Amino acid sequence: MSGSVPTAAGARTGVWFLGARGSVATTAAVGALALADDLVAPTGLVTSLPGLADAGLPGVGDLVLGGHDVTATPLAKRAEQLADGGVFPRALVRAVTPGLEQVDGRLRQVVAHSGESQRGCAARIEADLHAFREDNGLDRVVVVDLLPTRPLPAPHPGLDDLDALEVALDGPDEVLPASSLYSYAAFRAGCPVVEFTPGPGPRLPALQQLAEQQGLPWAGSDGKTGETLVKAALAPMFAARALRVTSWAAMNILGGGDGAALADPGAMANKAQSKGRVLPEILGYDPEAPVVIQNVADMGDWKTAWDNIAFEGFLGTRMTMQFTWQGCDSTLAAPLVLDLARLLAAAHAAGRTGPQPALGFFFKDPVGTGDHRVSAQLDALLEWAGGLR
Amino acid sequence: MSGSVPTAAGARTGVWFLGARGSVATTAAVGALALADDLVAPTGLVTSLPGLADAGLPGVGDLVLGGHDVTATPLAKRAEQLADGGVFPRALVRAVTPGLEQVDGRLRQVVAHSGESQRGCAARIEADLHAFREDNGLDRVVVVDLLPTRPLPAPHPGLDDLDALEVALDGPDEVLPASSLYSYAAFRAGCPVVEFTPGPGPRLPALQQLAEQQGLPWAGSDGKTGETLVKAALAPMFAARALRVTSWAAMNILGGGDGAALADPGAMANKAQSKGRVLPEILGYDPEAPVVIQNVADMGDWKTAWDNIAFEGFLGTRMTMQFTWQGCDSTLAAPLVLDLARLLAAAHAAGRTGPQPALGFFFKDPVGTGDHRVSAQLDALLEWAGGLR
Amino acid sequence: MSGSVPTAAGARTGVWFLGARGSVATTAAVGALALADDLVAPTGLVTSLPGLADAGLPGVGDLVLGGHDVTATPLAKRAEQLADGGVFPRALVRAVTPGLEQVDGRLRQVVAHSGESQRGCAARIEADLHAFREDNGLDRVVVVDLLPTRPLPAPHPGLDDLDALEVALDGPDEVLPASSLYSYAAFRAGCPVVEFTPGPGPRLPALQQLAEQQGLPWAGSDGKTGETLVKAALAPMFAARALRVTSWAAMNILGGGDGAALADPGAMANKAQSKGRVLPEILGYDPEAPVVIQNVADMGDWKTAWDNIAFEGFLGTRMTMQFTWQGCDSTLAAPLVLDLARLLAAAHAAGRTGPQPALGFFFKDPVGTGDHRVSAQLDALLEWAGGLR
Amino acid sequence: MSGSVPTAAGARTGVWFLGARGSVATTAAVGALALADDLVAPTGLVTSLPGLADAGLPGVGDLVLGGHDVTATPLAKRAEQLADGGVFPRALVRAVTPGLEQVDGRLRQVVAHSGESQRGCAARIEADLHAFREDNGLDRVVVVDLLPTRPLPAPHPGLDDLDALEVALDGPDEVLPASSLYSYAAFRAGCPVVEFTPGPGPRLPALQQLAEQQGLPWAGSDGKTGETLVKAALAPMFAARALRVTSWAAMNILGGGDGAALADPGAMANKAQSKGRVLPEILGYDPEAPVVIQNVADMGDWKTAWDNIAFEGFLGTRMTMQFTWQGCDSTLAAPLVLDLARLLAAAHAAGRTGPQPALGFFFKDPVGTGDHRVSAQLDALLEWAGGLR
């Protein structure tokens, strides 16, 4: 490369997972290593499609992975557990175990320091990010939030204004929710942020100001992996045919850590709010559309969704569509995480700042756009990617 | 209006149904009359959507309905039978019975004349169309084919070349299948044609030549009403996410005349071929995708489809989506028939000729385009309609 | 008849509905009148099966209907509303309207008297039951509880002991829940009781004592109409084949009054407890089996249940069965209500007293038996009925 | 044991599989070996239930396995293929590989001898059975037919009469279908026969005469493993509630050898006839009930069935139940095969001869009984087993 600023394709890109030993991050790590060694096809990787594969993104096999987690279970052991649950074959785990051990060496454990202010905690995270970048000679680091869904924060002036936030961070209160404290630290460290959970992460006004100030792009929120993805593909069909949806009831049963986390009513309320925006935005009216999420430990890493759609056609005749979706959330989410890291890295290299609505394709609650239609979102993504170079 | 050529909105438009006493045409007639009297909302009518409602189409309540059928059962009686089957409320039938009786007065019975050549038969159809136009002071008549699905015709030189066809029509053989004989007569009578069944109707090369010669537009084929519509909405989602569909098995159970007609293997082969194009065109590869259509008389006018979609995600993990679609085919098809009559009338008024690929939105096997994606088809339709004025 | 005690078949039998203008009672009234006039077949009526049809039960068309309700909407109007919701044809309502008006004349409105003790309220109910029996020359009156599901009562010594209850009823507190206050009054008036809701109704120990003292039979509780019925039919299959159910998650969406009532968490808890007994009793172990009931007003009188059953087979291989049940609860419940009134009347005529476990076939939470298997319950019912004469 | 004739529990029992390297037999072999070594729980094994586990049957781990097949692929390799298809874990295959190799040593390859009469072929089979029994010191050998479904044979006098058959076997024609030729040889060799496919195997009158003559018990036919099992569990529920089934449409998609075999129309007709008896026998009337079996190679060893049940309730109201069954046929069938071998061995030891209707629990088309209800069949099985000692 002759230029002083490396393009994304040639630069060394790091990805820092929050929740680095969780199911999604572990699957992403296994997959990135397997793709690096050409052990698998890039199925499920959106950035492997024409129009994105050739958009000058950093190679998926070149990503340098690191991250934070509260546990210290070795990645290879986590991967074996996932393989036992049918997420990927055991043989694949064996093949990438040396690579997983290298990633293990870059992970940092999160330790609570009693009595510490949120600024102190943020500073430690920031230091970890700096160290990761420097130790590995990285041009940039994309931070990806994969922490469990949590309740929305209580209102506080510091959430809405960066100056007020800076003051509040020195105080004894926990002003920022965990996802946003990480975004604060990431932006301070010069890292773009992917908010893959309902967040709020970088969506708080105070943090949006910080991202602008730092000249950083970010994307979010809440990865659209299963039932909501199908909703966003089907609802435009009803709209296009002038069929009137009168109710759309959804039931999700899932186990794993995700199921357990969503058994918390506050977390569930945050999640449901994120999922609830799709239908009214696409249909132009707001049908009765309850979303139930039920923890069933027996489901393990798998999720089954059942949706019952009642709609009226010509002359008011009532009809019904139902679907079931039997998916593995980690399998569905992991490639999107790698996609987003590659795309946001390229956006950073191209000097984009602030929220990236064109990445709304990946999210249940896309920032900066009200368009939830899968096809329209893909068109927007392809156009945006074409303009990155 | 000051101009000599009336625009579609101001002109008097006739619709001539082939199979005018069948379920779809009867439902369309009930609906058009109910909409004329503001008894119902235009649910299911695509031309009621923004971008089409204001495109200068003839009013749905202004359409003058006529047609051919082999039976003479009064429309009001057919409508009562459909109401008993849950297709629309009985009260609606009572409200539009006077209107149905008026339509009855414009229907002509098809009578086989033994020993008659196909040219003789065509001439009688043509005469009926001329009479319908003149008796009702119509500016134009759109012919809509709603006849039961039939086997594909045996090869014959007359199917491919208009001159050869003209010679053959005088002979003793049945060269043209019924749907195409009607198209021949319609084009001769100056009428645009909607091929709403698998046809072939106007798709034969000889008839395409005739349409060009007569300066007539036409649209087809095989209305996309249920399971195939859902396929065309869902398949782009799998493509957009780089998920690999490994099989997509479909079962349709249906009763009514349609179910009985498709119990004929030849008719079924024609239908299946029409349905089979959607997936490979959208996905770019051809997964195992059997389509079974099973006649279950007990289902009456209702159809239930079940589709089982097996797909691979990241790292080859196998997942499954299933859906069931419980729809009333007449209810789903009837508004599309009115949409197509309005749109093709406007196309005719605007001087368009030949196949209209932008109307592919309505068809399983759209002529002149390989794009089966519902969203993309709607975009194309809206753009085309915007250019009609 | 020559004997002094009339047999059930020859006696005049009254049925007193609690919630007499609700969906189930209205449907039962329409059905009883339609059956009396031979307008319909006895589909759904268990007592029409061989072994019960010939068991000497009072004729379904001979039942004299009465009841309590809080509203005063005429039954014919309620029936029209149900017909609009697809519960039965409108023509049937017209045919039985005179009969419904006669029933209207026997219904009594429940009025709250402020400051009244529960004994005072019970006395008024008792008086209504006596008047119904005498005014109509009835040999016996079966009281059927169809009130909406309510939370379980707080513990109180009066619930467990009849003497303590008698004292408490004079006090100012609401000791008994509504369903049990009615059972108290019914038993005092010499009436057998069918507890068709989760109750508790007659199940409280104090009331069981009263039933014994009065020599009255009763049956309950919580009619087994839809998803639980299917559970009770399917679970024995898994047990018989030694297949291990690891989870059985159920989602019910329903509208109508029932859906609204179950939106109350206390009522829901009562309902879920009733539904929850089926699986452990049949399987012999207790798989993870959440039951979600979601109010969807759009569903009206219809309910759709979706169950996802995960099970292990030979060598631990995991398999799945799913079902959906699209039923009309009033249609499913109403014939059972008539069945139970006929059967309990015959039991009374035969001198049976106390809980009737053989009627467990009809209930989610059958009193006096732990056998929830549909087939075994039917065998028990047939044997019991054979012994009634 | 003091007696000269060993009871089943103490005797050495051999099982001779026809199709010994097929999916079902291989799974049965893996399972029997795994159970012998206590590596797995007896899930799916009906003979592990109370009332059967203590009925004096030969131990599942004590069964000596042998059989015929047309291929020579080692069992361990077949087992690995099945493990790759998710039928059981690979680790299990590794654990039982030495045992599988021992079984391999007892399998005989079927070789066609051109020009040989059917008697000659039968004699070779008979010799193999004698050798298996003697080489392994077995008290008895149960022959289990697991060959692919084939068309029904053309009528021939030899099928109906043993004397006529004996004459015909010397001639040049193929009188007996393969399944029945094996039954002939088995009976001649003194072996009880389990007909686990649609057969006809031992059901031909001529072979029934031979079984009687030889004093041998036999059981059949067509193992009830999936969709038919669910039918037999659900249909009694509709009957018990007087709900009228108006149609029951079934679609089965399956791959593997079974899917391919059933793509043959003759085989399919045989299979469908076997499946078709369940509903009319249970319901007492014959609803419209098409059964479609569709080969989808992508499904591998797994089968998904979808059933759509339309039924009428009270006052003729139409309702619907649907289910999907996602099962692994080999997993479901293999334990039943071991069950039947154990039970028929015990029946033989107890001196039972001829068809065993009490084993109808295991079959779609049970010989000697018209009772298809799962619960009633289990009761009959338990009673029969109780009488074996």
User: For residue C320, is it left (φ>0), alpha (ψ between -120 and 50) or beta?
Assistant: beta
On whether any CB of chain D is under 8 Å from the CB of C59, the answer is no
Binning pLDDT at 50, 70 and 90, where does residue C270 land?
Answer: confident
Q: Which two tokens stand for residue D168?
A: 């015909």
Neighbors of chain B by Cβ distance (3+ pairs < 8 Å): A, D
Interface touch A297/C288, C-beta < 8 Å: yes
Q: What tokens were used for C305?
A: 């249940």
Token digits of residue D18: 């026809």
| Close Cβ partners of A354 (under 8 Å, ≥ 6 residues apart) | A208, A211, A212, A217, A218
A12 has a pLDDT exceeding 50: yes
| Per-residue model confidence (pLDDT) at position C234 | 97
CA B388 – CA B275 distance, rounded (Å): 30
For the purposes of burial, counting CB atoms within 10 Å of the CB of A350, is it exposed (0-12), middle (13-18) or buried (19 or more)?
middle
pLDDT digits (tens, 9 = 90+) for B347-387: 999 999 999 999 999 999 999 998 999 999 999 999 999 99
Distance in angstroms (rounded) separating the CA atoms of residues D368 and B89: 51
- Asked if B13 has any chain A CB less than 8 Å from its own CB, the reply is no
Interface test with B, best of D246, D268, D303, D306 (most B CBs within 10 A): D306
Residue A6 has pLDDT above 70, yes or no: no
Q: How confident is the model at residue B258 (pLDDT cuts 50, 70, 90)?
A: confident
Look at strands D107-109 and D64-69 and give their pairing.
parallel
DSSP-derived 3-state class of residue B309: strand
Residue B319 has pLDDT above 70, yes or no: yes
Strand pairing of D302-312 and D318-328? Answer: antiparallel
Q: What secondary structure letter does DSSP report for A103?
A: H
Decide if A246 and C308 are in contact by the 8 Å CB cutoff. Answer: no
Q: What is the pLDDT of residue A110?
A: 84
Question: Does the pLDDT of residue C126 top 60, yes or no?
Answer: yes
Two tokens at A221? 């929120």
Q: Which pLDDT band, with edges at 50, 70 and 90, does C4 fall under?
A: very low
Question: Coil, strand, or helix at residue B275?
Answer: helix
Task: Choose the closest CB to A233 out of B229, B237, B325.
Answer: B237
pLDDT at D5: 44
**Residue keyed to tokens 């029932």:** C258
Task: Give the per-residue pLDDT at B256.
Answer: 80
Determine, for residues B288 and D298 on separate chains, whether the beta-carbon distance falls below 8 Å.
yes
Residue of A191 and B153 predicted with greater confidence:
A191
How buried is residue C4: exposed, middle or buried, by Cβ count under 10 Å (0-12/13-18/19+)? exposed
Do D61 and D35 touch, CB atoms closer than 8 A?
yes
Chain C residues in contact with A292 (beta carbon < 8 A): 251, 292, 294
Nearest Cβ partner for D324 among B288, B297, B322: B322
Exposed, middle or buried, C351 (CB in 10 Å: 0-12/13-18/19+)?
Answer: exposed
pLDDT, tens digit (0-9, with 9 covering 90-100), for C316-367: 999 999 999 999 999 999 999 999 999 999 999 999 999 999 999 999 999 9
* Contact criterion met (CB < 8 Å) for C249 and A294: yes
Q: Mean pLDDT throughout C169-196? A: 95
More confident residue, D286 or C6: D286
Question: Does any CB of chain B come closer than 8 Å to the CB of residue A324?
Answer: yes
Pairing relationship of beta strands D354-355 and D302-312 according to DSSP bridges: unpaired
Q: Can you give chain C as a three-state secondary structure string?
A: CCCCCCCCCCCCEEEEEECCCCHHHHHHHHHHHHHHCCCCCCCCCHHHCCCCCCCCCCCHHHCEEEEEECCCCCHHHHHHHHHHCCCCCHHHHHHHHHHHHHHHCCEEECCCCCCCCHHHHHHHHHHHHHHHHHHCCCCEEEEEECCCCCCCCCCCHHHHCHHHHHHHHCCCCCCCCHHHHHHHHHHHCCCCEEECCCCCHHHCHHHHHHHHHHCCEEEECCECCCHHHHHHHHHHHHHHCCCEEEEEEEEEEECHHHHHHHCCHHHHHHHHHHHCCHHHHHHCCCCECCEEEEECHHHCCEEEEEEEEEEECHHHCEEEEEEEEEEEHHHHHHHHHHHHHHHHHHHHHCCCCEECHHHHHHECCCCCCCCCCHHHHHHHHHHHHHCCC
Q: Which residues of C touch D331 (CB under 8 A)?
A: 313-315, 317, 319
Given this model, what pLDDT does residue D326 score? 97
pLDDT of residue B313: 97
Q: How many whole angstroms separate alpha carbon A42 and alpha carbon D215?
A: 63
Residues linked to residue D145 through DSSP beta bridges, in sequence order? D18, D195
C-alpha D176/C-alpha B235 separation (Å) is 49
Average pLDDT over residues B14-29: 98
Contacts from B352-357 at CB under 8 Å and sequence distance 24+?
B352/B217, B352/B388, B353/B211, B353/B212, B353/B215, B353/B216, B353/B217, B354/B208, B354/B211, B354/B212, B354/B217, B354/B218, B355/B208, B355/B211, B355/B217, B355/B218, B355/B219, B355/B220, B356/B217, B356/B218, B356/B219, B356/B384
Contacts of D286 in chain B (CB under 8 A): none
In terms of Cβ atoms closer than 10 Å to its own Cβ (0-12, 13-18, 19+), residue A10 is middle
**pLDDT confidence band for C267 (50 / 70 / 90):** confident
Which whole-number Å values give the CA distances from D55 to A225, B244, D50, D350, D385, in the listed order? 52, 51, 9, 12, 6
Interface check C322 vs D, CB under 8 A: yes
Asked whether B338 and B63 are in contact (CB, 8 A), the reply is: yes
The reply to whether residue B314 touches residue A320, judged by beta carbons under 8 angstroms, is no
From the CB of residue A387, how many other CB atoms can be counted at a distance below 10 Å? Answer: 10
> Which residues of chain C lie closer than 8 angstroms to A247, CB-CB?
253, 296-299
pLDDT at residue A3 tops 80 = no
Q: What is the 3-state secondary structure (H, E, C) of A288-329?
A: ECCEEEEECHHHCCEEEEEEEEEEECHHHCEEEEEEEEEEEH
Mean pLDDT of D203-227: 96
A335 touches chain B (CB under 8 A): yes
Provide the pLDDT for residue A5.
44
Q: Mean pLDDT, to the nearest integer, of B194-223?
A: 96
- How many Å apart are CA C184 and CA C200, to the nearest integer? 12
Look at residue A145 and tell me whether its pLDDT is greater than 70. yes
Q: What is the pLDDT of residues B260-286, one digit of tens each?
A: 777 777 777 777 776 778 999 999 999
| Cβ burial A144-164 (10 Å sphere, 16+ → b, else e) | bbbbbbbeebeebebbeebee
Residues in D closer than 8 angstroms to B326, CB to CB, are 320
D39 secondary structure, DSSP code:
-
Pick the residue of C84, C296, C322 with the most A CBs within 10 A to test the interface with A by mutation: C296
Q: Mean pLDDT over all residues of chain D?
A: 93
Task: Calculate how close chain A gets to B179, using CA atoms only, in Å.
Answer: 26
- Residue D276: per-residue pLDDT: 79
pLDDT tops 60 at residue B24: yes
pLDDT in tens, D90-133: 999 999 999 999 999 999 998 778 888 999 999 999 999 999 99
Rounded to the nearest angstrom, the minimum Cα separation between C303 and chain A is: 11
Residue of A nearest to B87 (CA): A317
**Residue B6 pLDDT exceeds 60:** no
Tell me the residues of chain A between 290 and 319 that have a Cβ less than 8 Å away from chain B. 312-317, 319
* Residue D116 or residue D48, greater confidence: D48
CB contact under 8 A, B288 and D297: yes
Residue type, A354: G
ipTM field? 0.95
pLDDT in tens, A243-299: 999 999 999 999 987 777 777 777 777 777 767 789 999 999 999 999 999 999 999
Residue from C306, C322, C325 to probe the interface with A (highest A Cβ count within 10 Å):
C306
> What does the pLDDT read at residue A2?
37
Using the predicted structure, report yes or no on whether residue B209 has a pLDDT greater than 80: yes
Question: Residue C19 and residue B298: Cα distance in Å, rounded?
Answer: 36
Token pair 């049937």: residue: C92
Whole-number pLDDT of residue C3: 38
Q: Determine which of D96, D317, D377 to mutate to test the interface with C (most C C-beta atoms within 10 Å).
A: D317
Beta-bridge mates of residue C68: C18, C108
| β-bridge pairing C140-145 and C107-109 | unpaired
Is A36 at the interface with chain C, CB within 8 A? no
Peptide bond preceding D221: is omega within 30 degrees of 0, i.e. cis? yes
D30 near C CB under 8 A: yes
Residues of B in contact with A328 (CB under 8 A): 313, 317, 319
- Specify the pLDDT at position A32: 98
Cβ separation D308–B247 shorter than 8 A: no
Q: D135 in helix, strand or coil?
A: helix
Neighboring chain B residues of A233 at a CB cutoff of 8 Å: 233-234, 236-237
What is the distance between the alpha carbons of residues C377 and D296, in angstroms, rounded to a whole number? 40
Q: Which chains touch D (3 or more CB pairs under 8 A)?
A: B, C
Q: Determine phi and psi for D102, rounding to 5 degrees.
A: -65, -45
Taking the whole predicted model, whether its pTM rises above 0.80 is answered as yes
H-assigned helices in chain A:
23-36, 75-84, 90-104, 118-135, 157-160, 162-169, 178-188, 205-214, 227-240, 256-262, 265-275, 278-283, 329-349, 374-386
> Taking a contact as any Cβ pair under 8 Å apart, which residues of chain D between 128 and 187 contact chain B?
none
Nearest-CA residue of chain B relative to A224? B241
Nearest CA to A145 out of A213, A70, A67 is that of A67
Alpha-carbon gap, residue D289 to D246, rounded angstroms = 9
Report helix, strand or coil for A72. Answer: coil
The rounded mean pLDDT for chain A is 93
Chain C: give the shortest CA distance to residue D307, in Å. 9
- Tell me, what's the pLDDT at D296? 96
Q: How far is C323 from chain A (nearest CA, A)?
A: 11
Chain D contact present for C361, CB below 8 A: yes
- Tell me if A44 and B233 make a contact (CB, 8 A cut-off): no
Q: What is the pLDDT of residue B264?
A: 75
In this complex, which of C40, C361, C378 lies closest to D316 when CB atoms are compared? C40
Q: What would the pLDDT profile of D161-182 be if each residue is shown by its tens digit?
A: 999 999 999 988 899 999 999 9
A31 by DSSP, 3-state: which? helix
Give the pLDDT band of residue C181 (cuts 50, 70, 90).
very high
Give the Cα-Cα-Cα angle C246, C248, C250 (nearest 5 degrees): 165
Q: What is the CB neighbour count within 10 angstroms for residue B333?
A: 26
Chains that touch C (3 or more CB pairs under 8 A): A, D
Lowest-confidence segment of B58-62, C262-266, D95-99, D230-234 by average pLDDT: C262-266
The pLDDT tens digits of the residues spanning C213-230 come to 999 999 999 999 988 999
Q: How far apart are CA C240 and CA C283, in angstroms?
A: 9
Between A227 and D337, the higher pLDDT residue? D337
**The pLDDT value given to residue C114:** 80
User: pLDDT band for position A26 (50/70/90)?
Assistant: very high
CA dihedral B252, B256, B257, B258 (to 10 degrees): -20
D44/C314 touch (CB, cutoff 8 Å), yes or no = yes
Mutate to test the interface with A, among B24, B231, B314 (most CBs of A within 10 A): B314
Contacts of C81 (CB under 8 A, 6+ apart): none
Quote the CA–CA distance of A243 and B46 in Å, as a whole number. 9
pLDDT for res D4: 40
